[in-house]
Structure 1
Amino acid sequence: MGFPEDHLIPLVDEGLGNSAYLVDLGDGRALAVDASRDLRALHAAAERRGLTVTYAADTHLHADFLSGAVQLGRDHGARVLASAAGNRAFDHQGLVDGDEVDLGGLTLRALATPGHTDEHLSFLLLDGRSELGVFTGGSLIVNSAARTDLLGADRTEELARAQYHSLKRLTALPDQTAVWPTHGAGSFCSAPPGSERTSTVGAEKRANPLLAAPDEDTFVSQLIASLGTYPAYFDHLGEANRRGPGIVTGTPLLTELSAEQVRTLVADGGHAVDVRPAADYAAGHIPGSLSIPLRGQFATWLGWLLPDTAPLAFVTADGQDLSEIVWQAYKIGYERLAGRLAGGMPAWTAAGHRLATTAFVTADRTDNRPYVDVRQESEFAAGHVPGAVNIELGSLTRTAADAPEGAVVACGHGERAMTAASLLERAGHTDVAVLDGGPADYAAAHGEQLVQGTEDTRS
């Protein structure tokens, strides 16, 4: 059979920077590859085409999201395909290098490609003897490769060497072979982060800087040098995926909580998470609450800054999608969702509880405050305000004391900076301001030029 181009349906999670894939096998059946636990988009795509997902393949034990494969087994009766070396604790078909699965006209061949994880497989999709494309998961990524430090610093170099050989194996495929990675633009699993999501073997051989390395040692040095920080929850999600995520029936609901219930929850060790836009949080919020505006990156910062062991109460604005809060939390294994403040902040003030506010200022109103840039080091190095201090947002839970008093906190637009300000306020800083804008706005307002590199900062 032929393979029409529109039978491959990429399902992009912009927030995590990942792609899952739904392959229409042409007879009402489908293959899902690297689907996350948030299956809303996949279910919608399958329903539009009248497809039943009969196979769910995972390239590796994901660190950045819970797999949806077990759920697809329950919802569609899908057969789960994954590496036998992953020792998954649920029903699946364990594959080793060279194993083939007959999809009914098409064939899926497992290729051992360790590096990102020990048990990593890529899946080559074949039509007869023709290589249509390869699902490279966390191995070959567009103009990049996946990071190799998720199993510990003591194994980073070993896995980087394995990654080198895996990429060599993949690029031995015919140049026209499509490359379908899981990790892509915005993914913290990419090293360094890429911009495109799909490619071909030939395009990668021409343009991927890691593939231009003249030898293995140079490749390893370049890959390791590109590794930035990653969210804290990555350290335990691989094991959660090995055990298998729990089945979810329907969309879990957020219980309505009174102001007094939220206050008690926080007093007992829980957390109030304010998902309203940054400007709303600045105008008035529960003292000690954490600002994480609800957007694509919500799950990343929730999992980076808070533990999954304490109950969470959410503060929302009118019209926000409560199911989005739930699914972003659930896809990274955060299920202790106590509920949301019924009536929002008006209910909090009506109950007689005090408000806290945060200065949210434009670039021309910063009053010569110290400038703290909470973006990733790579973003900072690409262009920052002269004299700025770089303290990555992800590190602030342990380094808040390092921030200068009376600082203006900034990121690219203001969302991460408001999160940082809420962490600083929780740590006792009382005179924090947030820049409504980014470094270019500040430089323009102060007649400065952005500088590159990290020489004049600490992180």
Structure 2
Amino acid sequence: MGFAEDHLIPLVDEGLGNSAYLVDLGDGRALAMDVSRDLRAVRRAAARRGLSVAFAADTHLHADFLSGAVQLGHDDGATVLASAAGHRAFPHTPLADDEEIELGGLTLRALATPGHTDEHLSYLLLDGARELGVFTGGSLIVGSAARTDLLGPDRTDELARAQYRSLRRLTTLPDATPVWPTHGTGSFCSAPSGSERTTTIGAEKAANPLLAAPDEDTFARRLIAQLGSYPAYFDRLGEINRRGPQVLTGAPTVPPLTAAEVRRLLGSGAQVVDTRPAAAFAAGHIPASVSIPLRDQFASWLGWLLPEDQPLVFVAAGEHDLAEIAWQAYKIGYERIAGHLVGGMEAWLADGGHQTTTEFLRPAGVHGRRYLDVRQSAEFAAGHVPGSVHIELGALAAHAAETPAGAVLACGHGERAMTAASLLERAGRTDVAVLDGGPGDYAAAHGQHLIEGTGGSAS
């Protein structure tokens, strides 16, 4: 068969920074690669083409989302393809290095490329002897390679060296071979910033700094040096994906709750997550609730900051899509959804509930306060306000006592800073304010210039 460029359909999850792929096999069937449990985009893409998903492959045991392969096997009868070295505990076709699967005119060849995980496979898509492209998952990615510390600090160097050998193997493919990674910009599995999500072997050989490393030792040092922090839930999902996520019998829901029902749930240990915009949260929220505005990154921060075994009650804006909230939670294994407060804060107050407010200040209105930057370390190093203190949002709960008195909390726009304020509030710190803006806005308002480097960090 001929393979046209439009036979490959990337499905980008902007929040997790990942790309899944649907491949039109040309005979009414499709291959789904590295798809998450939230299969809505896959279903839409397949329906537009009139395709049935016949194969579902995973490049590795994902740490950042629950795989949708098991669900596709159950719902569509798809053949699940995965590494034999992963010892998955559900029906699948285990593949070893250089084994091939016929896809009805096309061939998928497994290439062992350990590094990101022990059992990582890349998949070379072939039309006869012609290389159509390679799905590289968390091995070779645009401008880098995925992190090697997910199996613990004692394995990081070993896996970095395995990643070196895997990338060298991939670069033996022809320069024109398209590279289709899973991890990209925005992924905590590690990727540099940039708009490109696909590349070619030749482009990476020419421009990827890791591939310019003269030897294995230098490669390992460079890769490990660029590793930042990652969400806490990453430590759980690999094993769940090995066992196989629970098959869903229907779409997850967010049931309606009255204010009285929310109050009872709070008394039994439920956690309120407020998904409204930062300004709405600042104007009034249920005491001890956590602000995580509903946006692309919602799942990452939910999984980073809250335990998965706590019932969740959501306070949502009227325009919010409750199905989106539910799927973002479910794709990272957060299934204990108690429901949402019907009528929002108006209903809460009408039922006698108390609310808390948070100062939300424009840059020009901030005077005499220490500046606490809660962005990621790489963002801070790229440019920050002079004299600012740095504690990443993910580490803030453990460092609440180090927050300067009366500090103004800041991130890039205000969303993460409002989350930070809500965490500090739960720790008894109600003296802080949140910056409505970012470091550039603050510096411009106060006649300052941003500085680069990592000084000022308290974490």
Give me the TM-score of the superposition, normalised by structure 2.
Answer: 0.99
Which amino acid is 1:344 matched to? G
Question: Any stretches of 5+ residues in structure 2 without a counterpart?
Answer: none
Does structure 1 residue 207 correspond to structure 2 residue 207?
Answer: yes
Which amino acid is 1:364 matched to? A
Cα distance per residue 1:129-176 (max 9 Å; x no partner): 011100000100000000000000000000000000000000110000
Which amino acid is 1:260 matched to? A
Which amino acid is 2:325 matched to? I
Does structure 1 residue 426 correspond to structure 2 residue 426?
Answer: yes
CA contact (8 A) 1:22 1:42 kept: yes
Does structure 1 residue 277 correspond to structure 2 residue 277?
Answer: yes
Does structure 1 residue 393 correspond to structure 2 residue 393?
Answer: yes
Which amino acid is 2:28 matched to? G
Alpha-carbon separation, structure 2, partners of 1:333 and 1:300: 12
Q: In structure 2, the residue corresponding to 1:153 is in which secondary structure?
A: coil
Cα deviation for residue 458 of structure 1 reads 2.2
Cα deviation for residue 432 of structure 1 reads 1.4
Aligned residue runs from structure 1 range 310-389, under 5 A: 310-389=310-389
Alpha-carbon separation, structure 2, partners of 1:51 and 1:402: 55
Alpha-carbon separation, structure 1, partners of 2:456 and 2:304: 26
Does structure 1 residue 261 correspond to structure 2 residue 261?
Answer: yes
Cα deviation for residue 456 of structure 1 reads 3.0
Aligned residue runs from structure 1 range 29-428, under 5 A: 29-192=29-192, 195-428=195-428
Q: In structure 2, the residue corresponding to 1:329 is in which secondary structure?
A: helix
Cα deviation for residue 194 of structure 1 reads 5.4
CA contact (8 A) 2:390 2:456 kept: no
- Counterpart for residue 11 of structure 1: 11
Q: In structure 2, the residue corresponding to 1:409 is in which secondary structure?
A: strand
Which amino acid is 2:110 matched to? A
Cα distance per residue 1:362-383 (max 9 Å; x no partner): 0011122110000000000000
Q: In structure 2, the residue corresponding to 1:136 is in which secondary structure?
A: strand
Alpha-carbon separation, structure 2, partners of 1:449 and 1:370: 16
CA contact (8 A) 1:303 1:332 kept: yes
CA contact (8 A) 2:252 2:330 kept: no
Kindly report the root-mean-square deviation, in angstroms, between the aligned alpha carbons of the 2 structures.
Answer: 0.9
Alpha-carbon separation, structure 2, partners of 1:437 and 1:12: 27
Which amino acid is 1:104 matched to? G
Greater CA drift, 308-317 or 448-457: 448-457
Cα distance per residue 1:287-319 (max 9 Å; x no partner): 100000000000000000000011000001111
Q: In structure 1, the residue corresponding to 2:155 is in which secondary structure?
A: helix
Which amino acid is 1:254 matched to? V
CA contact (8 A) 1:232 1:303 kept: yes
Alpha-carbon separation, structure 2, partners of 1:208 and 1:231: 26
Q: In structure 2, the residue corresponding to 1:190 is in which secondary structure?
A: coil
CA contact (8 A) 2:184 2:191 kept: no
Greater CA drift, 331-340 or 257-266: 257-266
Cα distance per residue 1:189-208 (max 9 Å; x no partner): 02555542100000000000
Question: Any stretches of 5+ residues in structure 1 without a counterpart?
Answer: none
Cα deviation for residue 340 of structure 1 reads 0.6
Which amino acid is 1:419 matched to? T
Which amino acid is 1:124 matched to? L
Q: In structure 2, the residue corresponding to 1:174 is in which secondary structure?
A: coil
CA contact (8 A) 1:186 1:195 kept: no
Cα deviation for residue 426 of structure 1 reads 0.7
Alpha-carbon separation, structure 2, partners of 1:191 and 1:143: 7
Which amino acid is 1:27 matched to? D
Give me the TM-score of the superposition, normalised by structure 1.
Answer: 0.99
CA contact (8 A) 1:186 1:194 kept: no
Which amino acid is 2:202 matched to? G
CA contact (8 A) 1:125 1:134 kept: yes
CA contact (8 A) 2:21 2:34 kept: yes
Alpha-carbon separation, structure 1, partners of 2:270 and 2:154: 34
CA contact (8 A) 2:39 2:68 kept: yes
CA contact (8 A) 2:56 2:69 kept: yes
Alpha-carbon separation, structure 1, partners of 2:243 and 2:397: 29
Alpha-carbon separation, structure 2, partners of 1:394 and 1:264: 29
Alpha-carbon separation, structure 2, partners of 1:374 and 1:193: 19
Which amino acid is 1:363 matched to? P
Which amino acid is 1:333 matched to? G
CA contact (8 A) 2:143 2:191 kept: no
* Identical-pair percentage: 73
CA contact (8 A) 2:185 2:192 kept: no
CA contact (8 A) 1:191 1:227 kept: no
Alpha-carbon separation, structure 2, partners of 1:180 and 1:231: 24
Alpha-carbon separation, structure 1, partners of 2:250 and 2:163: 39
- Counterpart for residue 21 of structure 1: 21
Cα distance per residue 1:367-417 (max 9 Å; x no partner): 221100000000000000001111100111211111112110000001001
Which amino acid is 1:226 matched to? Q
Alpha-carbon separation, structure 2, partners of 1:141 and 1:239: 24
Which amino acid is 2:381 matched to? A
Q: In structure 2, the residue corresponding to 1:41 is in which secondary structure?
A: helix
